[in-house]
Chain A
């Protein structure tokens, strides 16, 4: 049973435009959310996080939005750059465990 879902396996965006990656979850007890970025043949690396008591967290070009009532998390990248092309995983924490989504492959077209 997938508690964290990323329904879009892939996304293509023109360089300079906004990339929006989405994540839905089912467990209302998740208290912390993260986004990871993964390049081919490498492990995921931490990108940005948000606590369940907040609805927005910003770090440079990256902003994460949390809508608890909709159980929805999104990552905005503005402006998108070719180096952002990677697979993005969302993750949610409950207790001692993080639950990961299936990933969205972002391609930023120069």
Chain B
């Protein structure tokens, strides 16, 4: 079965620590995305990647970093520079960047800073 796997489902982090969220897809999709969801807000784009070894900042990239060394994998690192990291993070992929069929989403990672 093809899909996107995000891990872990729940993550707790101490203030000042970096943490990496995993996202793996076996759909052979070229494009991958990271979104953040906060209560009362829509999904906001953090980073996206059109192809391997290429990625672009979204609307709220500050305090985050990504890598795209393999087509299947697009990990997101939440750095200590991110002022308010507690949120629900969603990874998504699509066949291409302009795929009209929209995205396939993972089930999300809820990050809590303690």
Contact = CB atoms under 8 A, between A and B. Distances in A.
Interface stretch (A36-44, A56-64, A71-79): A36-44
Interface string B27-45: 0000000010000111111
Q: Chain A interface residue count: which class?
A: 20 to 34
A110 B86 CA distance: 35
Contacts, number: 58
B98 A49 contact: no
Interface string A20-61: 000000000000101010000111111001010000000000
Contacts of B45: 97
A105 B104 CA distance: 20
B105 A44 contact: yes
Q: Chain B interface residue count: which class?
A: 20 to 34
Nearest to A44: B105
Given A43-B4, A101-B42, A34 B102 contact: yes
A26 to B, nearest CB: 13
Contacts of B58: 97
B98 A96 contact: yes
Given A99-B42, A102-B41, A43 B101 contact: no
Residue with the greatest number of chain A CB neighbours at <10 A, chosen from B50, B102, B104 = B102
Contacts of A93: 100
A32 B100 contact: yes
Interface of B: 4, 6, 9, 35, 40-45, 48, 50, 58, 90, 92, 97-98, 100-108
23 contacts: A2-B42, A4-B42, A32-B100, A36-B105, A42-B108, A43-B4, A43-B104, A43-B107, A43-B108, A44-B103, A44-B105, A45-B105, A46-B101, A46-B103, A89-B43, A93-B100, A96-B50, A96-B97, A96-B98, A97-B48, A99-B42, A100-B44, A101-B42
Across chains A and B, which 10 residue pairs bring their CB atoms closest together, nearest first? A43-B105, A100-B43, A100-B42, A46-B102, A102-B42, A34-B102, A43-B107, A96-B97, A44-B105, A43-B106
